[in-house]
Structure formats: structure tokens, C-alpha cells
Amino acid sequence: MGTLYEDIVDHGGEVFGKEHMETLMLCVQCGKCTGGCPSGRYTAFRTRKLFRMAQEDMREEIFNAPELWFCSTCFTCYERCPKGVKTTDLIRVIRNLAAKAGHMSVPHRMIGVYVLKTGHAVPVGEPQMKLRKAVGLDEMAPTTQKYKEQLEQVQEIFRTTHYDAMIDFDWNTMNLREAEGDEKK
């Protein structure tokens, strides 16, 4: 394990290319990202602060703060940054590193539960089924939620990549295996 910056470049470089990730060090703390961040208007999440902390190798502080998971990946900061910092992609890579180190937020882990159970991050529910029926469609769309064999293929991907272990998924209860005190959302 190197510095957080080195890990970001190594890990994120595999997906985005190293130069993309190296833009972290171009951040001059101008604050245009934070100024336009819709999440920052309602939460304690501060994009500029995150990048400063990442430059300063404050791995544990970043990973242990719930704010890391408050970014909605809207890409507003990505478009606003005057220095070409690949903001949103950097945040996603930092989250990946945090998740690998066991720090994924419960709501994000629950999204994984939905995908494992149905193949959808947002499963089709009663209201959607009623609506589909009202307009003459089958209640259930022809997706993994309807076809068990297809869902099993999705579940196999999760097993193969060990994503189930990363979110601490319990195949018996088809839910999170919670540590005491955790709250499912």
C-alpha cells in the first residue's frame, strides 16, 4: 500500500488511465466544485476539502467520514473545475478504495442487496406493477426480476468478483449480515 494518491493512480488508472487520476494534484482549492455541488447544499460534504485531504494522504479520515458517500455523482463539479481535475471519477475511485477497506456506507451496500435479490438497483414494486397492468402490459417487465435463470447469472458475477463478501451479504437471509448497532436503511 502506497500513499492514498499512489493508490488512487494505481487503482483508478486501470479503469480511467493514470493521467486521469493524476489530475488530483492539479487542484488549487479554488472552491468552484464545492460552490456548485448540490449535495454540499444539504450535507456536510465538501468536494474541495475531500481533494485537499486526499492530497495530504488523510486516508483514514476520508474513509471513516460518512460524507464520502454523500456525492450523488452528478458531474457538476467535473464540468466546473477550471483545472481539469477529474473530480467525480476521483471520488468514485476513492470510494472503491474505501469499500475495499471495509468502509462502504449501509445505503450503498443495500443497493447491492437489491441487485443481488432482483438484478435491479431499483426493483419493480407494487405501484409500478399496477401501472404496467393499467396500460395493458405484463405486471412484471421481462428482466432479471422475472427470470430466475438470468438473475442467477447476475448473482454468479457477484460471487465471482466477491462483491457479496465486500458488502457482507448473507445468502441465507438474502440481506446484509449486520454488525451489532448497524442500521439497515
> Interface with ligand SF4 by CB under 6 A: which residues?
27-33, 36-39, 47-48, 51, 71-77, 80-81, 83, 85, 87-88, 91
Q: Where are the alpha helices (DSSP H) in the chain?
A: 4-16, 18-22, 32-35, 47-55, 59-64, 76-80, 87-100, 106-118, 126-134, 148-160, 163-166
* Residue 80 or 108 with smaller CB distance to ligand SF4: 80
- Name the 3-class secondary structure at 75: coil
* Residue 68 or 113 with smaller CB distance to ligand SF4: 68
126: which 3 cell numbers? Answer: 407494487
Q: How far is the CB of 74 from ligand SF4 (least distance, A)?
A: 4
Q: How far is CA 27 from CA 24, 124, 143, in A?
A: 6, 41, 43
* Residue 60 or 79 with smaller CB distance to ligand SF4: 79
Residue partners of 170: CB distance under 8 A and separation at least 6: 176, 177
Name the phi and psi angles at 175, rounded to 5: -150, 180
* Residue 29 or 153 with smaller CB distance to ligand SF4: 29
Q: How far is the CB of 98 from ligand SF4 (least distance, A)?
A: 15
CA distance 55 to 3: 9
Q: How far is the CB of 92 from ligand SF4 (least distance, A)?
A: 9
Q: How far is the CB of 36 from ligand SF4 (least distance, A)?
A: 6
* Residue 71 or 151 with smaller CB distance to ligand SF4: 71
Q: How far is the CB of 94 from ligand SF4 (least distance, A)?
A: 11
